Structure 1
Amino acid sequence: MQRRSFVLSASALAFASFGARAADAYPNKPVRVISPYAAGGGPDVQLRQAGPSLGVALGQSIIVENKVGAGGVLAAQYVAQQPADGYTLLLGSNTHIIQKAMQPDLHFDPVTDFAPVSNLASSPTVLVVSADSPYKKLDDLIADAKSRPGSMNYGSGGIGTSAHLAGATLVSLAGIKATHIPLKGSVEIAASLIRGDTQFAFPVAGTGIPQVKGGKLRALAVTSRHRLKELPDVPTLYELLHNDLAIQESWFGIWAPARTPLDVQLTLNAAIRRVASAPALKTTYEAVGNEATPSESPQAFADFVRSETRKWTDIVKLAGAIGT
């Protein structure tokens, strides 16, 4: 009788333990992803394009919330303070690394305050001039800039943006003088070039490629590691300048608060890899010069973030943007 009682008790305990594990299985409620970008901005759009499929892969709804401000820092600080349970995530990017490199005293650290889960996509910038510009290739622009030192301007959506840093990198590596003109936003870049207020710029591919194909702008180079499918005849800036710092690809992925359990990270990583590898999403991204770039593992993404931190810190120093 005592043996029978023990067996029944053990079975009951096992069942209760299984039930508790099932109840705690991740995820068992909707997952929030905090976007540092305004609704309709490039990375925000791409996150929302992936969101429904990611929700299907996880078996829960994905809720995208926009928390814009301070170059992405506001959103990062908010997520870093949330419970490390995988239910509040950040659309993290090289923007956060850049902001930290520019402002070392910021009260967040993109390396230690987060657990990088997986990259999602990357996008280069495109060196463009107006369609009626006399510059047909980069050598033309550099030669004219050297013949008239300080006569050229390049525009961007603001200090510390990818367009600013790419322009400053070109100026430094090519040994030319040009003035940075921070505009009200990246949407002003094309108009500035057409008016002649600026002579060259580096909009992100998602913005630049449609304007090149629409005949408003001419592309001279791209900052991706390889040539873009959408602009196969346009060389990379690395091909022309032969310097690793000329390779500048903006990227964004999913970050969780530090100390998020590894099993939660692995679940999220597997779901992102499944979604980002789907042909439909890859085609959607590639149409505007982006590339789906899911990470093989959370550790692989963490290694990538550390490597990018070193690189973008060097680029910020090259651009002279520290403390701005």
Structure 2
Amino acid sequence: MDRRSFCVSAISTALLAPAAARAADAYPNKPVRIVVPYAAGGGPDILARQLGPKLGDVLGQAIVVENKVGAGGVLAAQYVAQQPADGYTVLMGSNSHLIQKVLQPSLKFDPVGDFLPVTLVATSPSVLLVADNSPYRKVEDLVAALLANPGKMNYGSGGIGSAAHLGGATLLSLSGAQATHIPLKGSVEIPLSLLRGDTAFAFAIAGTAVPQVKGGKLRALAVTSAARLKELPGVPTLNEVMRNELTVQEFWFGLWLPAKAPADVVARLYATTVRTLADPALAVQFEAAGNRVVHSDSPQADAAFVRNEYRKWAEIIRLTGITAS
């Protein structure tokens, strides 16, 4: 290379380097969508809408929450996996996506390979619910009725493999009882099914259940967390009653990007989300709805967590005998 060419090259590099840095720093330069695989008004949707504005303030761009409901979260996952990996479309990922893939291996998405987990944002147990006018005041009452009426009582869920389905299947498996599973249009339908009398009991995510219990419409018999919920201190854990660790079922939610998202975008979204989750006011909002604020130590730690969870829920499904049909 002659001296003139070298100088031109050096000048070009000097000019382009700041431009490249500015381009990397520009994310996000337009609104970011969080795709929620659950119906509007349900616990996970409320969580996303509580997080969205505060995260938008930290990111410096609006957060748009978009609901894509269907197939136990699969439709939303497939949609996000096919979007440009530029950081502007984010999936609210959860263990429901892992569960659906275990139940239906032929599904055209891979909850591990198609996404880059960024961080957890919240965990939530399920709450075993009955209508407030139900004759069942504790778990033992419900189990006794189930054993006395095998297959004659119904329990509802947001779909096969959902938190509610797994909670019900676990209760039945461990107690030796039988009941009919009624898949509803979504988890938001669970309270209505109990109030109408279409179902006798159900497990609902705490974010959906706690407001209904506090409002006096539904009665909580147990929670699936390892410890009692702060918002329902008088309600025992299901493990206290059943004495089996399989009843400890914490459901979690996190932010996932399409698999080929740039590392700098992942790092920026992680850092800003962790900063957002440190807001005490957000923690109060989450806890009031039965959710607990959490975050991963790093995107890599989150990815390892997701892989471990995949194995765990596969084992639970084998033990309960749940199938996709």
The TM-score, its normalising length taken from structure 1, stands at 0.89
Deviation at 1:286, TM superposition (A): 0.8
- List structure 1 runs of 4+ shifted beyond 4 angstroms: 5-12, 194-197
Q: Secondary structure at the match of 1:158?
A: coil
> Residues 47 and 191 (structure 1 numbering): CA distance in 2 closer, same or farther, change over 3 Å?
closer
Which moved further from structure 2: 35-44 or 256-265? 35-44
Opposite residue 101 of structure 1, the aligned amino acid is: V
Does residue 158 of the first structure (1) align with residue 169 of the second (2)? Answer: no
Unmatched tracts of structure 2, length 5 or more = none
- The equivalent of 1:303 in structure 2 is 304
**Do 1:277 and 1:294's aligned partners in 2 also have CA atoms closer than 8 Å?**
no
Opposite residue 222 of structure 2, the aligned amino acid is: A
- The equivalent of 1:262 in structure 2 is 263
- The equivalent of 2:237 in structure 1 is 236
**Do 1:245 and 1:311's aligned partners in 2 also have CA atoms closer than 8 Å?**
no
- Spell out, residue by residue over 1:132-172, the C-alpha distance to the aligned partner (whole angstroms, 9 max, x if none): 33333222322343344334332223322211110011100
Deviation at 1:216, TM superposition (A): 2.6
> Residues 82 and 211 (structure 1 numbering): CA distance in 2 closer, same or farther, change over 3 Å?
closer
**Do 1:129 and 1:220's aligned partners in 2 also have CA atoms closer than 8 Å?**
yes
Deviation at 1:115, TM superposition (A): 0.7
- Spell out, residue by residue over 1:86-128, the C-alpha distance to the aligned partner (whole angstroms, 9 max, x if none): 2222111122112111211001110111110011112221112
> Residues 176 and 21 (structure 1 numbering): CA distance in 2 closer, same or farther, change over 3 Å?
same
- The equivalent of 1:103 in structure 2 is 104
- The equivalent of 2:14 in structure 1 is 14
- The equivalent of 1:211 in structure 2 is 212
Q: Secondary structure at the match of 1:253?
A: strand
Opposite residue 22 of structure 1, the aligned amino acid is: R
Q: Whole-Å Cα distance in 2 between the matches of residues 194 and 113 of structure 1?
A: 39
The TM-score, its normalising length taken from structure 2, stands at 0.88
Opposite residue 29 of structure 1, the aligned amino acid is: N
Q: Secondary structure at the match of 1:64?
A: strand
> Residues 240 and 113 (structure 1 numbering): CA distance in 2 closer, same or farther, change over 3 Å?
same
- Spell out, residue by residue over 1:54-83, the C-alpha distance to the aligned partner (whole angstroms, 9 max, x if none): 122223332333333333222212221233
**Do 2:92 and 2:254's aligned partners in 1 also have CA atoms closer than 8 Å?**
yes
- The equivalent of 2:200 in structure 1 is 199
> Residues 57 and 246 (structure 1 numbering): CA distance in 2 closer, same or farther, change over 3 Å?
same
What is the correspondence of 1:24-43 to structure 2 with a 5 Å cutoff? 24-30=24-30, 31-43=32-44
Percent identical pairs in the alignment equals: 61
**Do 1:97 and 1:110's aligned partners in 2 also have CA atoms closer than 8 Å?**
yes
Opposite residue 234 of structure 2, the aligned amino acid is: D
> Residues 239 and 35 (structure 1 numbering): CA distance in 2 closer, same or farther, change over 3 Å?
same
Q: Secondary structure at the match of 2:65?
A: strand
- The equivalent of 1:278 in structure 2 is 279
Q: Whole-Å Cα distance in 2 between the matches of residues 202 and 145 of structure 1?
A: 15
Q: Whole-Å Cα distance in 1 between the matches of residues 67 and 309 of structure 2?
A: 25
Deviation at 1:9, TM superposition (A): 7.7
- The equivalent of 1:56 in structure 2 is 57
**Do 2:156 and 2:183's aligned partners in 1 also have CA atoms closer than 8 Å?**
yes
**Do 2:127 and 2:224's aligned partners in 1 also have CA atoms closer than 8 Å?**
yes
**Do 1:273 and 1:296's aligned partners in 2 also have CA atoms closer than 8 Å?**
no
Opposite residue 46 of structure 2, the aligned amino acid is: V
Q: Whole-Å Cα distance in 1 between the matches of residues 189 and 19 of structure 2?
A: 57
Q: Whole-Å Cα distance in 2 between the matches of residues 321 and 295 of structure 1?
A: 30
- Spell out, residue by residue over 1:277-301, the C-alpha distance to the aligned partner (whole angstroms, 9 max, x if none): 2111111111111111221211121
**Do 1:34 and 1:89's aligned partners in 2 also have CA atoms closer than 8 Å?**
yes
> Residues 26 and 296 (structure 1 numbering): CA distance in 2 closer, same or farther, change over 3 Å?
farther
Q: For this pair of structures, how many residues does the alignment match?
A: 323
Deviation at 1:187, TM superposition (A): 4.3
